[in-house]
Amino acid sequence: MDEERLKLKAGLAVKCPPPARMTTILLVDDSRDTRLMTKWFLDYVGYIVHAFSSADDAVAQFDPKIHDLVLTDNSMPRMTGAEMAHIIKMRSPATPVVMYTGRAPSDRSCLDAVIERPTPLPVLKETIDKLLAARPWCPVENGGSPSNQRDSGL
């Protein structure tokens, strides 16, 4: 490990270790059928999914130390997915937020990706995989700098 850190400081490409835990997604959709189908699919392809029917509940449970990505609908009662994305980004700017919706908002400033329904779930998975692969915890492989590395100890 010390040798990898020295290579990282020297700017040499090193293979970053995989995350110590499974990837966890915070899923928010007020439509029960859509939420269950999306959760089932993401569970099936290997993600841990914490699903909520309201943005209020999801924001209350969001923990950037647990949730690697937020996946949300937009049109929900009380708080839209776009409004929730702003709150998530204020609390954790590095957490990717993906909107999977039939009605995308005009303000997409806090969204890392927007996928409009009806788009097949494998396309959603591909987008999630790309965003997670670009996370700053592995800066050398992803073109970042060592100062961006999360929990690096450097």
Question: Phi and psi dihedrals of 98, rounded to 5?
Answer: -115, 135
- pLDDT at 39 exceeding the cut of 60: yes
pLDDT interval class at 35 (50, 70, 90):
very high
Query: pLDDT per residue over 75-128, tens digit each?
Result: 999 999 999 999 999 999 999 999 999 999 999 999 999 999 999 999 999 999
Q: Say if residue 4's pLDDT is above 90.
A: no
* Residue 152 located in a structural domain: no
Look at residue 112 in the predicted model and tell me its pLDDT: 97
User: In which element (H, E) is residue 71 found?
Assistant: strand 69-72
The whole domain housing 59 covers 23-141
Instruction: Give the CA count within 13 Å in the CB-facing half-sphere of 94.
Output: 18
Residue 40 covered by a domain: yes
How many domains is the chain partitioned into structurally?
A: 1
Question: What is this structure's pTM?
Answer: 0.76
117 part of a folded domain: yes
Q: Does the residue 8 lie in any domain?
A: no
* DSSP states of 74-132: S--SSS-HHHHHHHHHHH-TTS-EEEEESS--S--TT-SEEEESS--HHHHHHHHHHHH
Lowest mean pLDDT among 29-43, 94-108, 110-124, 138-152: 138-152
List pLDDT tens digits, range 46-66: 999 999 999 999 999 999 999
